[in-house]
Each structure stands twice: as C-alpha cells, then as structure tokens.
Amino acid sequence: MDANPTNIQLGIYIKDGNVKLIEVENTSQQYRINKIVQTELSVPVNIESIYNDQKIEDIGNQLQQLVKNYRLNAQYVIFALQSQLVLIKKLPFDDDLSDSDLIDQVDWEVKQFSYSQSDEYIVDFQKLQRTSRRQENEMLVVSVREKIIRQLRKLFSIAKLNVKVVDLDIFTAKRAIELNYELRIGDIIALVEVSSSGLMFTIIEDKEYWVSQDIPAYKLDASINSLVGVDDEDISKYISKELRRLMLDNKVGESIEALNRIFLYGDLVKDNTLESLQNNYNVRIDRANPFRRLLFAPNVSVDENIWSRPETFTVCVGAALRRR
C-alpha cells in the first residue's frame, strides 16, 4: 500500500546535540511508523546556538541533508521545542471573563513574570479541565521570546522544513504516554526525563497537566554540569529528592508513593537507576515505550539500540502523534 502524504507527519526533537526524526502515518485510525532517524549534530541546539546565525545555518543544512538522505516526508512537520527555552505558568482566572478580557489578563500576567520587560514574547494559553484536585478555574500560559521563534523560523527555512506546529517537549511526552498506556481517571502520574543536561519532571492528574519543573544538572549538584558519568545510584537519589520536593510544594502528596505510576524517559535512563527506584518505592515505575501501540511499516530499519532504548524517542514520537 502506498503511503498517503496527507496522512503523514514528521516529528522532530533536538536536545544535547542529538536529533531524532520520526515519520508517522495515520492509517485506518492506527498509527504506523514509516521511518526512524537518530544522529548527532555538529552544533547543539541551545540558547547560544539559536541566537547565532552561523550556527543556525549549520544546523539547518544538516537537517536538510538528513531529510534528503532518508527521503523523509516533510509536508507536515511538528517540532518539539525544549521547555527550558520557554516560560510556563499555571494561573487562576475568573469564569465570568470574556475571551478578550482573558487575553488582557494573560498579557498582564506575562509582563509580570517575564525575564525582561524589553523583550517581546509570543504567548499561548489554554483553559485546564477541572480534576478531583483542581476545583477552581485555571489556565496554562506558555510564553517564549519572539527572537527564539524568529531564529527557529530561519532554521526551518534553511532546512526546507514545512513546520506547521512548534509544540513543547513536556506536552509531546505526555501525549506519547496517553496514547500508549491506559491511564485511569483519578490516577496521578509522574513523567521524568533523564538527560545529560538534567532532570525534567511533569505531573499529570486525571490525564490533565498539573505541574512541571526543569532541574539543570548543576542545580542537582554544584560539582557537576552534566549527568553523564554520574553514578546511577546518585541519579536515583536526585530523582527521589526532587520529585518529592515538587510533590510537597504543589500539594500532590506527602511521599512518592502517593503517585500511581512513574515513567522514565530520555537519553540517560540507566538500568541501575530504574532498578534502584523500583526497589525503593511501592509504585509501578517503568521505562516509557512510545512504540507500544504503534505499527511499524515492513521496510522500517530498526536497530537494536531503538528496541532496547525506546524511552529515548518519547518526545519525538509524541510530536509526530499530534492531531491536526
């Protein structure tokens, strides 16, 4: 059966100099992976490289070459942006506000917590559904410097990528979990990304976003600037300490065992780290598998690294699974 280009999406995620591209086709209400690409870039995507036009050109040219070499369908692309590059806030709102009043409130709130009043920001927001814990009206506000988006548009233009949506990594990871696992209403789930740059925590309840927090490696331990080479047991301790702190600060529970389930994902999930957490807590803790319910096209080349480390593709797969 020939692929239908109108049903194909390309998810892209870049972090710590590693790029992942997943081409997914929605066929008969099922998702099928057509191609998987993973490689290292010569230039990492971070705030320094994004603001450097020469580095943006270098990254764009490498992405363009990847798309050509692997004959990826780039008609509809979703790019997962690192949440470290944006501001995320959860804010209350009055149910009586009109849409225009709500926009005014969001604009005012963003100006209060922006890094710099002189910067221009692109802002998006959505009303959150009420849950068993959230009885009041709350909205999720995401803002990013306009300059970052301008520079990304340059990158996409150089790469000849038709990027339709810039999504956020924590939301695409959440999507990948929701579409591959049975999450029950009332369950409190923690998603923990473990990467060389640090830890990212996201807590969801009733399938709804509750809170997230990024902890760079140097904030975990002042003596390190990367989790590469850090003892697996120490990483387990960092995860335990920071997850419990996040739960207490946000009134999620008194202990990690208040959670119903924990998923680990990212490029630095080690067997010993997972085993240590599983042995210490009476909670189901697993590596995320974003391929769990997906089909693979017959000609997809899947190496052992992909089968053995599916959690490393969680964000990218979640981007490719976004509904139009």
pLDDT tens for each residue of 48-90: 999 999 999 999 999 999 999 999 998 999 999 999 999 898 8
Tell whether 127 and 231 lie within a shared domain.
no
Selected residue with higher pLDDT from 3 and 159: 159
DSSP E strand boundaries for 169-260: 188-195, 198-205, 208-216
Contact 287, 269 (CB under 8 A): yes
Q: What is the pLDDT of residue 119?
A: 66
DSSP E strand boundaries for the chain: 8-15, 18-27, 30-40, 77-81, 87-92, 121-127, 138-145, 163-168, 188-195, 198-205, 208-216, 261-265, 284-287, 295-296
Tell whether 126 and 221 lie within a shared domain.
no
pLDDT band, residue 1 (cuts 50/70/90): very low
Task: Indicate whether 153 belongs to any domain.
Answer: yes
In degrees, rounded to 5, the angle at the alpha carbon of residue 130 between the alpha carbons of residues 257 and 286 is 30
Contact 146, 121 (CB under 8 A): yes
pLDDT tens for each residue of 161-193: 999 999 999 999 999 999 999 988 889 999 999
Average pLDDT, the chain: 91
Joined together, the tokens standing for residue 63 give 């992405």
Tell whether 70 and 209 lie within a shared domain.
no
Task: Indicate whether 196 belongs to any domain.
Answer: yes
What is the total count of domains within the chain?
3
Q: By residue range, what is the domain housing residue 15? A: 5-83+147-174+291-320
Tell whether 54 and 99 lie within a shared domain.
no
Residue that is written with structure tokens 């009206």 in the block: 137
Tell whether 47 and 160 lie within a shared domain.
yes
Average pLDDT rounded to a whole number, residues 22-47: 90
Tell whether 34 and 161 lie within a shared domain.
yes
**Helix-strand-coil percent breakdown of the chain, rounded to 5?**
35, 30, 35
Task: Indicate whether 75 belongs to any domain.
Answer: yes
Task: Indicate whether 135 belongs to any domain.
Answer: yes
Residue that is written with structure tokens 């998702």 in the block: 31
- 133 pLDDT more than 90: no
Tell whether 215 and 282 lie within a shared domain.
yes
Contact 259, 185 (CB under 8 A): no
Q: What is the pLDDT of residue 57?
A: 96
Cα separation, 317 vs 297, in Å, equals 15
pLDDT tens for each residue of 200-234: 999 999 889 999 999 999 999 999 999 999 999 99
Tell whether 160 and 71 lie within a shared domain.
yes
Beta bridge partners of 214: 200
Tell whether 36 and 155 lie within a shared domain.
yes
Q: What is the CATH number of the domain that holds 257?
A: 3.30.420.40
Cα separation, 102 vs 168, in Å, equals 22
Tell whether 278 and 214 lie within a shared domain.
yes
Task: Indicate whether 179 belongs to any domain.
Answer: no
> Is-above-0.85 flag for pTM?
yes
Q: What is the CATH number of the domain that holds 141?
A: 3.30.1490.300
Tell whether 50 and 25 lie within a shared domain.
yes
Of 73, 79, 88, nearest in space to 15 by CA: 79
- 302 pLDDT more than 70: no
Task: Indicate whether 17 belongs to any domain.
Answer: yes
pLDDT tens for each residue of 110-126: 777 766 665 688 888 88
Tell whether 263 and 299 lie within a shared domain.
no
Task: Indicate whether 76 belongs to any domain.
Answer: yes
* 198-205 and 188-195 beta bridge pairing: antiparallel
Task: Indicate whether 244 belongs to any domain.
Answer: yes
